[in-house]
Structure 1
Amino acid sequence: MKTAYIASSWFNPAQVAMLDTACTKLQANPTLDWDNSFMPKNHTYKDWTLSTHPEMLADPEWQLATFNADVAGINASDLVVAIYDPALANSDPGVLWELGYAYGCHKPVVLVLPDTLTRDLNLMPAMGATVVLPLAKLADFNFARLYYQPFSGKVY
């Protein structure tokens, strides 16, 4: 079984819904070691959240600790699963940075897109991912046998 760093956003209800759906599917996947995978949302510095500590985004200590923990999580994982919705209201450059960092470290990246993608995808995540999947296929995807399956659609 493979361990994964789960790159995702959880800043609005649509992002949370996509992440929750992805997590349910990933937990059910027998080829992914969910218990030893790393999801930044579950490893926040001092267990701070925006609702309990709205000042954290301006706190340099929190910023550095969060950045370093996320980089360490990527480094310690076998691969990165990037849950990403390119719709402007849901797109998060942090997820794209994590995807790019993983690519630079020669880690496989599984880019998970909404089931009904209605817009073009930027060239860099489209071609930088090892595998591009719709959300619906996460529970059955074989993480033990990754081979290049790039995005097949229009890019910009």
Structure 2
Amino acid sequence: MTKKIYLASPFFDDEQINRVKQVESALAANDTVASFFSPRLNQHEEFELFSEPWRQATYAGDVKAIESADVLVAVIDYEDNQVDPGTAWEFGYAVAKGIPVIVLKEKSGAVNLMMGVPLQAYFTNIEDIQHYNFDELKTVPFSGEIF
């Protein structure tokens, strides 16, 4: 059995875009991943960016993709304690729907309580995502600093 993954991640600057591309590659190389949905790759280019039709299509498409996912992978590399609100919303929605969340945080620092407690597994290297068995969903708890 292989899983459908939703990839929640900010992609607003070059560093974030580079990281999410690497995670997309890691998911594509993982034998336990049947497919993944990355909002970065689903921008509804048929609509003008940030227009009302784009907003509605993006929101509806992302919600539908989360609801059809078996697992959500959340990249939570943020500056200081400033969590990306979109990623945080996607994370919380997945938890509310009973979808396991795998967290990737390459940068050092504390993790928000509301992300550190409900996660299924916590990783600090993209390679861990490539080799993680999404069928088994082994628990890897977060044990660092919480804010």
TM-score (norm 2): 0.89
TM-score (norm 1): 0.84
Matched, 1:71 2:66: no
Shift of 1:127: 1.1
What residue in structure 2 maps to residue 113 of structure 1? 105
Distance change (3 Å), C-alpha of 1:106 and 1:2: same
Aligned partner (choices 90, 99, 103) of residue 91 of structure 2: 99
- Count matched residues: 145
Aligned partner (choices 122, 132, 137) of residue 122 of structure 2: 132
Task: Classify the secondary structure of the residue corresponding to 2:136.
Answer: coil
Distance change (3 Å), C-alpha of 1:47 and 1:109: farther
The CA distance in 1 between the partners of 2:101 and 2:129, in whole Å, is: 13
The CA distance in 2 between the partners of 1:45 and 1:70, in whole Å, is: 11
Which structure has the highest strand share of the two? 2
The CA distance in 2 between the partners of 1:125 and 1:89, in whole Å, is: 12
Answer yes or no: is the 8 Å Cα contact 2:119–2:141 preserved in 1. Answer: yes
Which structure has the highest helix share of the two? 1
Task: Classify the secondary structure of the residue corresponding to 1:65.
Answer: helix
Shift of 1:63: 1.2
- Unaligned segments of structure 1, at least 5 residues: none
Q: Deviations over 1:7-52 (max 9, x none)?
A: 1111101101111111121111111113xx211122222355xxxx
- What pairs with 1:6-155 in structure 2 (closer than 5 Å)? 6-34=7-35, 37-47=36-46, 53=48, 56-57=49-50, 59-88=51-80, 91-114=83-106, 117-134=107-124, 135-155=126-146
Question: What amino acid is the match of 1:149?
Answer: V
Indicate the RMSD between aligned Cα atoms, in angstroms.
1.8
